[in-house]
Structure 1
Amino acid sequence: MASLAAFWRYGVVKTLRKWKAAALSPLMAGREGPVRSSYGVLMVPNWQDTTFRYCIFGTYGRDLADLLLEQREAFVFVDIGANQGLYSLIAAQNPNCRQIIAFEPVPATHDRLAANVALNGGAGRTVLHRLAISDSVGQVEISVAEGHTGTATLAGRAGQSGGGVVIETIDAPLVEPLLAGEHPMFVKIDVEGLEAVVIAELAKTASFARVQAIFYEVDDRWASARDIEARLRAAGFTRFAKYGRGHHYDVLATRS
């Protein structure tokens, strides 16, 4: 029954949402002004981008959105690979979210992130960094696919196409002061294949002890879910919940 439910939820329903986005986007693209997404947050128009359309029509589902809105204790949301800010904006709807720390290294996408944060009145408790977390410090070229900002990657995957954009990367010693604080942290990592690298760098920081939950993307074609889980278990995470099916899915790791 569980597999059937997953097929319906992540196969059928998600596919229907993608079709809806494709069918309705051309009808809405001519409208001016901010657009209210299915998640209740406003976003500046970016209709040529698939990621934006998925945000507007709820293609990503409610898994992470509901987890963020259901947090009952004070927390900090760390959004690594924030893109245009959907989940940062959703976290800001929860009054228990004391601060949002968002990392988005691609300049044009970061500008849209900043505009969306301002549009929703969340600038006062949102800190934006035009940086990528990696295992080195400096400037590197990231591949950004035209028309789908959510697939920007440093992983150099075979078949990945798109224009190169120079971004800034930082490692654990530079990440540490950006995460300093007292509240527990809920971390989202969506970095298109470098999730293990980001987790390894976070684990080197003193602030990692405050991380209570990590929601991260896995694609079995270029990442090892087993290796990531082993690293997190070694760091004190004991519970792992899978969201999705097939080779591309998300995992929520939490401490006891």
Structure 2
Amino acid sequence: MATLERVPGFAHQWDALELVRTAVLSVRRRVADRYWAARGRRPVTVDRLSVVFELDGREDARFLRRFLEIEGRMLADLFAELRPEDVFWDIGAAGGFYTVFASAVLDERVSAFEPNPDVRETLHRRVETLGTDPLLFECALSDSTGTAALDNPDRERDNWQGTPSLTTDPGPAAVSVETRTGDELVASGEAPRPTVLKIDVEGAESLAIEGLSDSLAHEDCRLVYCEIHRESELRRSPADYGSSPAAVEDSLSDLGFDIERLEDRGGEYLIKATKR
């Protein structure tokens, strides 16, 4: 029996068969990543919706695979719920996978928000392959308009798959980004009011929701998917912004939503908030 330290304070017992299975699965994944990278594109089908993703090398292929492994359940639930008349906001769009899928259903009624400069080139490139024209906002949605530091001290600068967070204590790799409130964008006419949202902002969930409170309270806004980080020394959570996971859920409940725990991933969990 082998013991492997995976994260600080956590030990996992592995028997010989499990080690072999893990090694085989790792090899199969690497082979698949190389295959799709060589093809330069990968078709993906979710809930009978098929989308072809253009790929820029093996790292891009790996990230798409990891996205489907981690986000597959939420993605399937979301697209079972989407209606042709919906307006979708992808908050924390990263490489644009949700944006691409939503655009295939909703045409141009999609708005994507991504402040990370390391990922925006990939986001723009992926969107350019679509036959639609979603709105792209190079800002972080927060509780106020201005600027903030976006930081992830543990990521390499050229590794755009990192998950940077807004911070008041920036490290040497931090970059300055624009912050906007969702309600301001709606009021100014820069973005249509959302009916369905996906929020994945690496711990700053409370800030994004506070800046969207009027839009979320509107009767047309019917569904919110939100990733909520548990408090951890490894990455930021609502506690770093004066909130808590429970307070994030309470804020959505106060805005008229019923909360359902959709999936638990250990360090974070996903909720589905449905307007009452």
Instruction: Pick the TM interval, shorter chain.
Output: 0.7 to 0.9
What is aligned with 2:174?
A: 164
Give the letter for the 1:151 counterpart: T
Does the 8 A contact of 1:143 with 1:153 survive in 2?
Answer: yes
What is aligned with 1:77?
A: 88
Q: Whole-Å Cα distance in 1 between the matches of residues 84 and 226 of structure 2?
A: 21
Taking structure 1 as reference, are residues 22 and 170 closer, same or farther at Cα in structure 2, changes over 3 Å only? same
Look up the SS of the partner of 1:94 in the other structure.
helix
More displaced stretch, 105-114 vs 226-235: 105-114
Candidates 178, 187, 192, aligned match of 1:180: 192
Q: Whole-Å Cα distance in 1 between the matches of residues 43 and 175 of structure 2?
A: 29
Does the 8 A contact of 1:238 with 1:255 survive in 2?
Answer: yes
Match runs of 1:59-70 below 5 Å: 59-70=69-80
TM-score, scaled to structure 2: 0.71
Shift of 1:112: 1.3
What is aligned with 1:240?
A: 260
Taking structure 1 as reference, are residues 36 and 210 closer, same or farther at Cα in structure 2, changes over 3 Å only? same
Give the letter for the 1:248 counterpart: E
Q: Whole-Å Cα distance in 2 between the matches of residues 32 and 198 of structure 1?
A: 38
Q: Whole-Å Cα distance in 2 between the matches of residues 201 and 46 of structure 1?
A: 37
Kindly indicate whether structure 1 or structure 2 has the higher relative contact order, using CA contacts under 8 Å at least 6 residues apart.
Answer: 1
Look up the SS of the partner of 1:154 in the other structure.
strand
Q: Give CA-to-partner distance per residue, 1:107-131, whole Å, 9 cap, x none.
A: 34122111101113232xx111111
What is aligned with 2:64?
A: 55
Aligned residues: percent identity?
Answer: 25
Q: Give CA-to-partner distance per residue, 1:148-201, whole Å, 9 cap, x none.
A: 5341111469xx9772222111135533233335xx611001110001110111
Q: Whole-Å Cα distance in 1 between the matches of residues 79 and 94 of structure 2?
A: 19
Q: Give CA-to-partner distance per residue, 1:178-233, whole Å, 9 cap, x none.
A: 3335xx61100111000111011100448744321111111211232211111111
Q: Give CA-to-partner distance per residue, 1:72-124, whole Å, 9 cap, x none.
A: 452011000001100011112225x661010011234122111101113232x
Q: Whole-Å Cα distance in 1 between the matches of residues 28 and 181 of structure 2?
A: 37
Taking structure 1 as reference, are residues 196 and 240 closer, same or farther at Cα in structure 2, changes over 3 Å only? same
What is aligned with 2:234?
A: none
Candidates 85, 88, 103, aligned match of 2:99: 88
Q: Whole-Å Cα distance in 1 between the matches of residues 261 and 85 of structure 2?
A: 22
Taking structure 1 as reference, are residues 138 and 32 closer, same or farther at Cα in structure 2, changes over 3 Å only? farther
Does the 8 A contact of 1:34 with 1:44 survive in 2?
Answer: yes
Candidates 127, 142, 147, aligned match of 1:139: 147
Please state if 1:116 is matched with 2:126.
yes
Does the 8 A contact of 2:199 with 2:227 survive in 1?
Answer: yes
* Count of aligned residue pairs for this structure pair: 233
What is aligned with 2:31?
A: 24
Give the letter for the 1:254 counterpart: T
**Alignment root-mean-square deviation, CA:** 3.3
Candidates 201, 204, 217, aligned match of 2:211: 201
Match runs of 1:102-113 below 5 Å: 102-113=112-123
Q: Whole-Å Cα distance in 1 between the matches of residues 176 and 75 of structure 2?
A: 31
Candidates 216, 230, 245, aligned match of 1:225: 245
What is aligned with 2:14?
A: none
TM-score, scaled to structure 1: 0.76
Look up the SS of the partner of 1:166 in the other structure.
strand
Does the 8 A contact of 1:68 with 1:90 survive in 2?
Answer: no
Larger Rg: 2
Look up the SS of the partner of 2:208 in the other structure.
helix
What is aligned with 1:210?
A: 220
Q: Whole-Å Cα distance in 1 between the matches of residues 45 and 30 of structure 2?
A: 16
